[in-house]
Amino acid sequence: MLTIEQKKIRPSFSNSFGHGWDTLSKYFLILLLLVILLGILDVPLGFANFNFNQHQNEWDGNFQEWFQPFFALFGVMAIVFGIIALAYGLLVQPVFEYGGDLMFVHAVRDQRPDFESLIKGFKENYLHIILANVLKSALVMMGILFFIIPGIIVACRLAFVSYLVMDKKRDPIVAIEESWKLTKGYGWTIFLMGFVSIFIFIIGFVMLIVGMIPAIMWIKSSFASLYENILIEKNGNGEEAEIV
pLDDT tens digits in sequence order for the chain, 244 residues long: 655 554 567 889 999 999 999 999 999 999 999 999 999 998 877 665 554 444 444 444 555 566 566 666 777 777 888 888 889 999 999 999 999 999 999 999 999 999 999 999 999 999 999 999 999 999 999 998 887 899 999 999 999 999 999 999 999 999 999 999 999 999 999 999 999 999 999 999 998 777 999 999 999 999 999 999 999 988 764 344 444 3
Residue 40 CA, chain-centre distance (Å), reads 14
What is the domain range of residue 170?
14-236
Is 230 among the domain residues? yes
Cα–Cα–Cα angle for 175, 180, 183, rounded to 5 degrees: 115
Residue 244, in any domain of the structure: no
Query: What is the number of structural domains in the chain?
Result: 1
Residue 214 lies in a domain: yes
* Position 114 in a domain: yes
Cα distance between residue 205 and residue 189, in whole Å: 24
Query: Does residue 4 lie within any of the structural domains?
Result: no
Distance, C-alpha 12 to centroid of its chain: 20
Kindly state whether residue 7 falls inside one of the protein's structural domains.
Answer: no
Q: Could you tell me the pTM of the whole model?
A: 0.85
